[in-house]
A and B are shown apart, each in its own frame.
Chain A
Amino acid sequence: MNIVLQNLTKKFPGHGRKAAEEVVAVNDFTFEIPDGKLVGLLGPSGCGKSTTLNLICGLIRPSSGQIFFGSQDVTSLPPEHRGVGMVFQNYALYPHLTVLQNILFPLQNLKGKNRPSKAEMQKRALDAAKLVQIEELMERKPGELSGGQQQRVAIARALVKMPHVLLLDEPLSNLDARLRLQTREEIRKIQKATGITTIFVTHDQDEAMSISDQIVVMKAGVIQQIGKPQEVYDNPANLFVARFLGTPPINLFAGTVRDSKLYLGTNCVLDAPGIPDQEVWAGVRPEGFLLQPDGPLICQLTGIEVMGRDISVVSTHPACQAAAIRSIIGSDTRVDTSQPTVRFALKPGKVFLFRKDTEERLACQLR
């Protein structure tokens, strides 16, 4: 089932002395989530992504705007009539019930003709448990499970009533690094297997990029960009999106465009045809650096970090906005660490220019 948000806005009343000031948590959202896709809502904390999820879930009501599930307007429907399954950040498993009882709980709420028979309930609970591979933990209490196992139980509980939409609030934030990698693959697998339209919230761009069909990048209640992860990464709409996506983060330089040429400090690095002379922000992805003896960008070498697969060259440049430039090059490249300087050429496709005032992307074909 596809989900459409139309001019969705949520304002929270202010607190304390400045009670007059409202907080706009979600500002005029309009976008469509296609049927059966996995969508990641991505943004720093406080950007309104959890509020958006709660709006879709129905736990909070929007100030204005509408939400459609398929052709049905669900804006004023309470959560239990929307057919959504929700996995909460801390899982919210009922601590006094066993895993089986937790998974059965949503089914036991059903009334009348919707209520399955006892045997049917058991079967569905077992099916859900098998899907997330916890069938041997059914008699345990949540307190006796690890974080990853609790997470699976929460997903099973959300899936058992066969929702049209699955919502996950920061599903991986309580897991350790290794489990996070494994679990995100599993979420992807389960989503593919069930074909349920799934929306998840995360502040971790790695997580969102790796498993989403589509990501929605948000900042302070405003959508910054929507698109496939790779597209958004390769084509950021503004400086915020460019800086938010990618590890290590993009390297930001104060640059100047003069006579259709891009200068970083005094180094003329690329041709920028069609751009009027102005000061710009220039972002260079870490993989956009090419080590060249006669490269135009001259940096002071600080050191190198070997990370197995690649080498990270750490250097400084007067125009760079951060303390250090991090550039990733293949581990087969030799770096002469005895030299005080290192010279780079830049890959035009990995360099983005942004207006200095609005921080919007400058559309141009760098060469």
Chain B
Amino acid sequence: METNNRKGWLYLLPAILFLGFFMVYPLIDVFIYSFEEGYNSASQTYFGVGTYNYSYVLHDPYFIQAVKNTFLLVIITVPVSTGLALLISVGLSSIRPLRNLFQTIYFLPYVTNTLAVGLVFMILFQKTPYTDGLVNLILHWFGAGPVDFIDGPYWAKMFVLCFYTIWVVMPFKVLILTSALASVNQNYYNAARVDGTSRLRIFLRITLPIISPTVFYLIITGFIGAFKAYSDAVALFGTNLNAAEMNTIVGYVYDMLYGDSGGYPSYASAAAILLFAIILTITSINLLISRKHVHYTN
């Protein structure tokens, strides 16, 4: 018994060491940093301990902007991308010819580099001296005026960012959902057909509850992923996100560390801890809601 116990710990040791070194220790370190006031990275000294860093961050208009952007991004993209992915997967599962072709097409964004996709979106949306971009061309046909999506009004930029995010996260969701749909036993559908169940009711009362654990998984990871958004915004609007009013919380943390206005690890730590608290809260709420609506069988 005793030796078995020791053996168990031995097997766990590499993972514990790695996680401890690269996750637990930094997390604690960040937590400590966030309470050290007036930290100077050159001399590695600080004046005192307190909540000033948090108060600074919470009163920083750039941070407020970043939180607003992040929340908008989360609230818009998670439901829309999950819903769309569900529709596409159901569509994919119900067609037979060319299914593999469509599956490949829908999966392409997943294997494409973020920055390359950003470039494509530039071509689609950006206004330059030579062209208004493809989207504006289409808008023009419908008699709508040209909109500068990259350097223009806030809502236009937010629209592009959400569009981009949805487009990037979609393939993974479609992939997971199609396999979840494929694993639903055909007999349930046969039984429902014999009983004269309408297609909508089959979907709502049978398909959706049976794949609900997968949908829930996608929603949770979707929330977390969207809260951590950063590279998408950079790909579209460049590195000076504060100027573009398009910064995200992670972007704010990065700027505080390394940006032009950077060099403030204490502020960055405080912002990171705030983000951590937000994600923890939202995920807990998600878990609570899921208890009622997610059906795990066996």
B51 at the interface (CB under 8 A from A): no
Nearest-Cβ distance from residue B96 to partner chain A, whole angstroms: 13
Interface residues of B in 72-88 (CB under 8 A from A): none
| Given A59-B193, A79-B193, A105-B195, CB of A92 within 8 Å of CB of B188 | yes
The docked-state distance in angstroms from the alpha carbon of A92 to that of B191 is 7
The docked-state distance in angstroms from the alpha carbon of A79 to that of B297 is 28
Is the Cβ of A109 less than 8 Å from the Cβ of B190?
A: no
A94 at the interface (CB under 8 A from B): yes
| Given A79-B193, A84-B194, CB of A95 within 8 Å of CB of B295 | yes
Residue numbers in B under 8 Å from A221 (CB-CB): none
Nearest-Cβ distance from residue B243 to partner chain A, whole angstroms: 51
Residue numbers in A under 8 Å from B206 (CB-CB): 94
Residue numbers in A under 8 Å from B212 (CB-CB): 96
The docked-state distance in angstroms from the alpha carbon of A141 to that of B192 is 18
Residue numbers in A under 8 Å from B197 (CB-CB): 80, 105, 109
A85 at the interface (CB under 8 A from B): yes
Is the Cβ of B295 less than 8 Å from the Cβ of A88?
A: no
Interface residues of A in 75-109 (CB under 8 A from B): 78-81, 84-86, 88-90, 92, 94-97, 105-106, 109
Is the Cβ of A88 less than 8 Å from the Cβ of B195?
A: no
- Return the chain A residue nearest B190 by Cβ: A59
B5 at the interface (CB under 8 A from A): no
Nearest-Cβ distance from residue A332 to partner chain B, whole angstroms: 50
Is the Cβ of B297 less than 8 Å from the Cβ of A88?
A: no
Is the Cβ of A86 less than 8 Å from the Cβ of B297?
A: no
Is the Cβ of A86 less than 8 Å from the Cβ of B201?
A: no
Is the Cβ of A109 less than 8 Å from the Cβ of B198?
A: yes
Interface residue SS majority, chain B:
helix
Task: Report B196-217 CB contacts with A as 1/0, cut-off 8 Å.
Answer: 1110010001100110100000
| Given A59-B190, A96-B210, CB of A80 within 8 Å of CB of B297 | no
Is the Cβ of B193 less than 8 Å from the Cβ of A95?
A: no
Residue numbers in B under 8 Å from A106 (CB-CB): 195-196
Is the Cβ of B190 less than 8 Å from the Cβ of A143?
A: no
- Return the chain A residue nearest B208 by Cβ: A96
Task: Report B180-195 CB contacts with A as 1/0, cut-off 8 Å.
Answer: 0000010110111111
Residue numbers in A under 8 Å from B195 (CB-CB): 80, 105-106, 109, 157, 161
B113 at the interface (CB under 8 A from A): no
Is the Cβ of A96 less than 8 Å from the Cβ of B190?
A: no
Residue numbers in A under 8 Å from B187 (CB-CB): 88-90, 92
Nearest-Cβ distance from residue B124 to partner chain A, whole angstroms: 42
Report the interface size for chain A: residues with CB under 8 A from the other chain: 26
Interface residues of A in 94-151 (CB under 8 A from B): 94-97, 105-106, 109-110, 141, 143
- Return the chain B residue nearest A90 by Cβ: B187
A262 at the interface (CB under 8 A from B): no
Is the Cβ of A109 less than 8 Å from the Cβ of B201?
A: yes
Nearest-Cβ distance from residue A228 to partner chain B, whole angstroms: 29
Is the Cβ of A94 less than 8 Å from the Cβ of B188?
A: yes
- Return the chain A residue nearest B201 by Cβ: A109
Is the Cβ of A92 less than 8 Å from the Cβ of B209?
A: no
The docked-state distance in angstroms from the alpha carbon of A167 to that of B273 is 62
The docked-state distance in angstroms from the alpha carbon of A280 to that of B203 is 60
Nearest-Cβ distance from residue B48 to partner chain A, whole angstroms: 56
Residue numbers in A under 8 Å from B112 (CB-CB): none
Is the Cβ of A80 less than 8 Å from the Cβ of B210?
A: no
B298 at the interface (CB under 8 A from A): yes
The docked-state distance in angstroms from the alpha carbon of A80 to that of B197 is 8
Residue numbers in B under 8 Å from A81 (CB-CB): 196
A328 at the interface (CB under 8 A from B): no
Residue numbers in B under 8 Å from A141 (CB-CB): 297
Nearest-Cβ distance from residue A68 to partner chain B, whole angstroms: 19
Nearest-Cβ distance from residue A96 to partner chain B, whole angstroms: 4
A57 at the interface (CB under 8 A from B): yes
Is the Cβ of B194 less than 8 Å from the Cβ of A79?
A: yes
Residue numbers in A under 8 Å from B198 (CB-CB): 109
The docked-state distance in angstroms from the alpha carbon of A110 to that of B198 is 10
Nearest-Cβ distance from residue B272 to partner chain A, whole angstroms: 39
Residue numbers in A under 8 Å from B185 (CB-CB): 90, 92
Given contacts A59-B193, A92-B188, A92-B191, 14 further A-B contacts (CB under 8 A): A59-B190, A59-B194, A80-B193, A80-B196, A84-B194, A85-B194, A88-B187, A96-B209, A96-B212, A105-B195, A106-B195, A109-B196, A109-B198, A143-B298
Q: Supply 19 A–B pairs (Cβ within 8 Å), ascending by A.
A: A57-B194, A58-B194, A59-B194, A79-B194, A79-B196, A80-B193, A80-B195, A80-B197, A81-B196, A88-B190, A92-B185, A94-B191, A94-B210, A95-B295, A96-B212, A105-B195, A106-B195, A109-B201, A141-B297
| Pairs of residues from A and B, 3 with the lowest C-beta to C-beta distance, nearest first | A80-B196, A96-B295, A92-B187
B-side interface residues toward A, CB under 8 Å?
A: 185, 187-188, 190-198, 201, 205-206, 209-210, 212, 295, 297-298
